A and B are shown apart, each in its own frame.
Chain A
């Protein structure tokens, strides 16, 4: 017999509980706890002897793709990246184990956030069977002990809800901004530049970038209210927003370059994207958000 989660009711979505959204202490507690779960931004130089930033990016993009295709909750991907960064902050591993680590981090994050978590079998298949079920479960235990079982990390998505419930009385527009912000958050999680940005900053920067892109107007007023909500300096918010916009445009131009050099592959890519448009919960393809 094994310990099974028997929350049969949990298929029902929790309603927007005013106790959880309007109580200012919830946001305060999130701001207080987020630092506890920050990885060290210097782990590439101080801890890792083999792994380089670009390898993290590759594995991250693979993980994002898996999460998208499995229609995971939005939080799963940034949470998995948080586990990965925190693990790499304390343990030096060879590059050959990085994909295994990525798979384990998704495995854990989806167990924490999903009603029906990713199965080990699916994860093994996504690595093209380069890892075994046994390795996955062994590594899971190892990651758990290295993270001290402390998995309830704060993600930018926790702040996104808090921010939007405060700045966005208009539900309709709110949803568009939310989707775009979620895409930016995923983008930030894949990029090493953002490892040392706290989740609140990423959330605020993403909301700023989303509003800026959608409205095409100066958003000083928005940044002001974000400053009031999160107590983050306006200049920092602005710089985070700029970073996100730069990252987006460099990713887009990179894709454009590739499309010139390798036309047939882009075709595959385009088809792939069409399939994704039927999935409203996964607006994570960068090309979907060219304004």
Chain B
């Protein structure tokens, strides 16, 4: 495919149209007039004097120019990575950064009366929030652009760093006899480190699976696609992979309330998959998924069964747990202990990301966590740095 330059990402507002602009201003003025009356009822004695339209014209012009300057730079799209009903993922070159590779998710959004979809707004806001930390285990969002394509269509362009494989591909490509124990430990440490970072920022990923965990050629693991609906709306359309239940925590399947422990369950499933190079629980339906979980881990105690869920406890047969070695032959005792703590049925008893990083399984690698993560900064609190100047700063 030949390189294409996209100039359409400039945003053009109909404000440049002077007739329409004047009309809009008149309308808005009426609005404020209404506001005045309203405020009068509410008891605020203030009125806005009329404005001169000349001043506002200049304002509009300056908005337009500043906008154009900022976006006057295009990506060179080289190859299509994925395609779907909602849009396309391109591999592209960024001319600013010496032609480094980027992945561009281009999403077509039908411009409804409700404007930008909630899911897009949330995913991007989240990624932006995390961008500042440049966490080694979170995918970088480099740029966000949008263009009004037609009155009914907006194109949204998310520019991510380019990483050529996900964990699922990485495992498929891995030759027999599979990943060594050190490689598994390193990947697991990076995974939990990324999840711990998200949780410390009050973000529950909710859809961790090998397809949205990326692995660089240097073996660095990065989490992508945060948040259930916001991503899998994109993901589903782009890869047409049916949304999988396999990594889903039992409380999610049972539709009980859930929080950070759901990600820990997924980490457990992925942990097992690193050893076996195939998914741990491959349910075909929600009931089947639960049955497969209980076949392996045993039916939980009745007191751990959540209240007020649609599936009653007694719809499942009592089963003893299988020894973990039957599920994963090559697992050692520390790894087994961590896996068991990740796959605890009751979310309140499941290990947290923060605690899992302190697990003996990682004892040799704890030093490297301290240097590479948000843990170190936040644990060593500098209390001498008193924020006394805050109200007048900035």
Question: B-contacting residues of A (Cβ < 8 Å)?
Answer: 1-7, 9, 12-15, 17, 19-20, 23-26, 28-29, 31, 33, 35-36, 38, 40-41, 49-50, 54-55, 57-59, 61-62, 65, 91-100, 107-108, 111-112, 117, 119-121, 127-128, 130-133, 135-138, 140-142, 144-145, 148-152, 196-198, 200-201, 230-233, 235-236, 239-240, 254-255, 258-259, 262, 265-266, 268-269
Contact = CB atoms under 8 A, between A and B. Distances in A.
Contact of B42 (A15, A140, A151, A269): A269
Nearest to B375: A25
A15 to B, nearest CB: 5
A53 B146 CA distance: 32
Nearest to B237: A3
B327 interface: no
17 contacts: A2-B109, A2-B112, A9-B255, A19-B259, A19-B260, A38-B394, A50-B56, A96-B24, A96-B29, A96-B56, A99-B31, A119-B113, A137-B114, A140-B115, A142-B11, A258-B45, A265-B41
Nearest to B117: A3
B34 A128 contact: yes
B39 A130 contact: no
Nearest to A133: B113
A201 B390 contact: yes
A128 B25 CA distance: 15
Interface string B107-139: 101111111111111101110110010000000
B33 to A, nearest CB: 8
B319 interface: no
A202 B144 CA distance: 32
B344 to A, nearest CB: 15
Interface stretch (B181-189, B198-206, B334-342, B360-368): B198-206
A144 B35 contact: no
A138 B39 contact: no
B70 to A, nearest CB: 9
B48 A233 contact: no
B304 to A, nearest CB: 15
Contacts of A50: 51, 55-56, 59
A111 B258 CA distance: 21
A29 B115 contact: no
Contact of A95 (B32, B63, B126, B259): B32
Contacts of A265: 40-41, 43
Interface of B: 11, 13-14, 24-25, 27-32, 34-36, 38-46, 48, 51, 55-56, 59, 62-63, 67, 85-86, 107, 109-122, 124-126, 128-129, 132, 144, 146, 148, 154, 199-202, 228-230, 233-234, 252, 255, 257-261, 352-354, 374-375, 378-379, 381, 383, 385-388, 390-394
Given A137-B114, A236-B387, 14 more contacts: A2-B117, A3-B120, A13-B257, A14-B259, A15-B257, A23-B354, A25-B379, A26-B201, A28-B378, A29-B378, A96-B31, A128-B31, A138-B148, A152-B126
B391 A49 contact: no
Nearest to B111: A137
A6 B233 contact: yes
Contact of B46 (A26, A57, A151): A57
Nearest to A121: B113
Given A141-B148, A150-B125, A233-B386, A258 B43 contact: yes
B113 A14 contact: no
Binding site secondary structure of chain A: helix
A240 B230 CA distance: 39
Contacts of A98: 32
A61 B42 contact: yes
Contacts of B85: 1
A12 B257 contact: yes
B325 to A, nearest CB: 30
